[in-house]
Amino acid sequence: MAYIACLALFVGAFAYTFWPEKNPFVQRATSRIDFLRERRESIFANLRDLNFEYKAGKYPEEDYATQRAMLEDEAATIVREIDLLERV
């Protein structure tokens, strides 16, 4: 009786672990807009970190302005592309 219970538990654990939806080797195909949204969030996080580190005194004014301008330009480009793709 104990063997049957162990076997049922093993089969259940095996099925739960390797069920196709939870399989780490099967990935959903990402579209261009998904990639852009992830990139946008990453850039916004970088901007928040940059502002925090600047206020903490880790960046001089010139470096801060340069980095901020680069990140804002990239964010604007990505947001523009997202808008174009969502219109279609």
User: If you search the block for the tokens 């095996």, which residue do you land on?
Assistant: 14
Do 37 and 43 form a contact (C-beta atoms < 8 A)?
no
Cα 78 from Cα 45, distance rounded (Å): 14
Q: What is the pLDDT along the chain (88 residues), one digit of tens a residue?
A: 888 988 888 888 887 777 766 556 666 667 899 999 999 999 999 999 999 999 999 989 999 999 999 999 999 999 999 999 999 7
pLDDT for 21: 66
Give the H/E segment covering residue 45: helix 32-55
